[in-house]
Amino acid sequence: MRHPGLVVLCLGGTVFLSACQQNSDAQVERALKDVNVIDESNLNDVMLSVADPNEAVAYFTGALQKDPGRVDFMRGLAKSLIRAQKPTEAAQIWRQVAYHAEGTAEDRVMLSDALIRSNQWPEAKAELALIPPTHETFDRYRLEAMVADSEKNWKKADSFYEIAVGLTTKPASVLNNWGYSKLTRGEHAGAEKLFDEALTYDPSMFTAKNNLVLARAAQRKYDLPVVTMTQIERAELLYSMALAAIKQGDVSVGKSLLVQAIETHPQYFEAASRSLETIDANVAL
């Protein structure tokens, strides 16, 4: 005896199981997709941080060829090009990102940074002018200060440097830049103070140490500042001070400092030795 009701139930169960299977497959696909996105994101982070810059460029270039519309890949390529010391190419990619529908104010800041690195100052200034005033970040004001510096607009540069310093917990590099700006203006005492401050945040920054010595030498302070330094750094700083002294006409002081630099350096200090030989030869003449 046939049981139509049972057949209907069985058919209904089959449809139900099929629907369940489809739902299950869709959930699995979504889960796998999520895992792939996570793995891809992790790989992107690795490429941007620890990978060789040229390998990162190749990775993001390949990723963009497969998926040209991905803005995150474009950002990754632009950042990698900066790391690979290719700012002109990076600026081209950052321009695409900044003017993309998903572009942000921070992308325009990064475009400005790449333009400055590639010595395109007017273009950088124009891009910075397009950033909303509400976008107040360390990088934005650091770049604004650099552009003002390039135009010798010292008042504006000082204002932007001051704002930038207040927007970061690691201001050593911007303090060093600010100090160098004052050094080029001839404000040696102000420069010395900023280099000193930079070294309180990063005692290992040799550029700031060297700039500090130059700022002091410009004021005819020919003794080394009290900062942490290795023996090699000490010799190199003495050498920098010696050259500054000679340039200012304090030749005997400079010669004495060259001798100290040669004696301090743990290896043969070729540059200092050559400079000393040149001075002795000129004196003999």
- With beta carbons less than 8 A apart as the criterion, state whether 53 and 33 touch: no
pLDDT in tens, 59-92: 999 999 998 889 999 999 999 999 999 999 999 9
User: Distance (Å, rounded) from C-alpha 204 to C-alpha 189?
Assistant: 22
Output the six-digit token pair for 243: 């050259």
pLDDT in tens, 206-223: 999 999 999 999 999 999
**Which pLDDT score, from 0 to 100, does residue 284 have?**
53
pLDDT in tens, 5-30: 444 444 444 444 444 455 555 554 55
Is residue 173 pLDDT above 70, yes or no?
A: yes
CATH of domain 136-224: 1.25.40.10
Q: What dihedral angle (degrees, nearest 10) is formed by the CA atoms of 135, 139, 140, 141?
A: 110
**Which pLDDT score, from 0 to 100, does residue 110 have?**
98
SS3 content of the chain, % helix, strand, coil (to 5): 75, 0, 25
Q: How confident is the model at residue 225 (pLDDT cuts 50, 70, 90)?
A: very high
Return left, alpha or beta for 86; rule: phi > 0 is left, psi -120 to 50 is alpha, else beta. Answer: beta
Q: What mean pLDDT is reported for the chain?
A: 87
**Which pLDDT score, from 0 to 100, does residue 9 have?**
40
**Which pLDDT score, from 0 to 100, does residue 37 have?**
44
Q: What is the model's pTM?
A: 0.79
- With beta carbons less than 8 A apart as the criterion, state whether 137 and 109 touch: yes
Annotated domain spans of the chain: 50-118, 136-224, 230-285
User: Distance (Å, rounded) from C-alpha 142 to C-alpha 122?
Assistant: 16
**Which pLDDT score, from 0 to 100, does residue 33 have?**
45
Residue closest to 165 by CA, chosen among 175, 157, 155: 175
CA-based end-to-end distance of the chain:
129
The neighbour count for residue 273, using CB atoms within 10 Å, is: 15
Query: To 5 degrees, how large is the angle CA 63–CA 66–CA 68?
Result: 85
User: Distance (Å, rounded) from C-alpha 95 to C-alpha 72?
Assistant: 14
* % residues pLDDT > 90 (the chain): 78
Which of 11-25, 94-108, 187-201 has the weakest average pLDDT? 11-25
Is residue 134 pLDDT above 50, yes or no?
A: yes
The neighbour count for residue 230, using CB atoms within 10 Å, is: 11
User: Distance (Å, rounded) from C-alpha 54 to C-alpha 94?
Assistant: 17
**Which pLDDT score, from 0 to 100, does residue 23 have?**
52
**Which pLDDT score, from 0 to 100, does residue 40 have?**
58
CATH number for domain 50-118, candidates 1.25.40.10, 3.40.50.10860, 1.20.1240.10, 3.30.460.10 = 1.25.40.10
Q: How confident is the model at residue 47 (pLDDT cuts 50, 70, 90)?
A: confident
